[in-house]
């Protein structure tokens, strides 16, 4: 339901392609919500079946546009799927940090020595363990 509301709200501002919708949702939520193509495209198909959007091919891409019925639907709703993100206190950019770790891990896997790959595997296993311990309210460092 949240993806549906976000898609309709964004399309009320301007027609977009599926990828643009995913990017706009991520931007509006400061990267804390990034729906996958598996969430966006079925939602677009459902909205098209309901007559709330039209999908037209443009330069090999599908442009999604709100219909008049879609505009009426959006105007009759007050839900803002991004409100929770706006009111939430800013936190650490975990997604960005994870992407950086992923890039570093790929680099070690490609060009690191066997010893470096072994050390990287231990670092990653320790990080995973520490994150689960964090959720369990246990000290992340066994020495503490």
Query: Yes or no: is domain 2-87 CATH 1.10.10.10?
Result: yes
Task: Give yes or no for a contact between 93 and 41, defined as CB atoms under 8 angstroms apart.
Answer: no
Pair of tokens at residue 142: 């066994």
Q: Which of 30, 25, 27 is nearest to 11 (CA)?
A: 25
Domain ranges of the chain: 2-87, 94-135
Lateral strand order in the sheet of 53-58: 16-17, 61-66, 53-58
What are the DSSP calls for 27-76, one per residue?
HHTTTS----HHHHHHHHHHHHHTTSEEEEEETTEEEEEE-HHHHHHHHT
> What pLDDT, on the 0 to 100 scale, is given for residue 144?
46
pLDDT tens, per residue, the chain with 144 residues? 589 999 999 999 999 999 999 999 988 887 778 889 999 999 999 999 999 999 998 788 899 999 999 999 998 887 787 777 765 555 666 777 888 899 999 999 999 999 999 999 999 999 999 988 888 886 656 554
């Amino acid at each position: 339901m949240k993806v549906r509301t976000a898609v309709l709200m964004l399309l009320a501002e301007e027609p977009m392609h599926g990828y643009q919708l995913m990017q706009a949702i991520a931007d509006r939520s400061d990267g804390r919500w990034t729906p996958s193509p598996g969430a966006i495209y079925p939602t677009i198909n459902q909205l098209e079946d309901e007559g709330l959007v039209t999908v037209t091919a443009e330069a090999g891409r599908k442009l999604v546009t709100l219909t008049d019925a879609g505009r009426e639907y959006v105007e009759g709703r007050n839900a803002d799927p991004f409100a929770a993100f706006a009111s939430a206190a800013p936190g650490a950019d975990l997604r960005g940090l994870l992407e950086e770790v992923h890039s570093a891990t790929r680099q070690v896997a490609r060009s690191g020595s066997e010893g470096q790959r072994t050390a990287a595997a231990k670092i990653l296993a320790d990080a995973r363990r520490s994150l689960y311990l964090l959720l369990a309210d246990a000290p992340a460092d066994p020495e503490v």
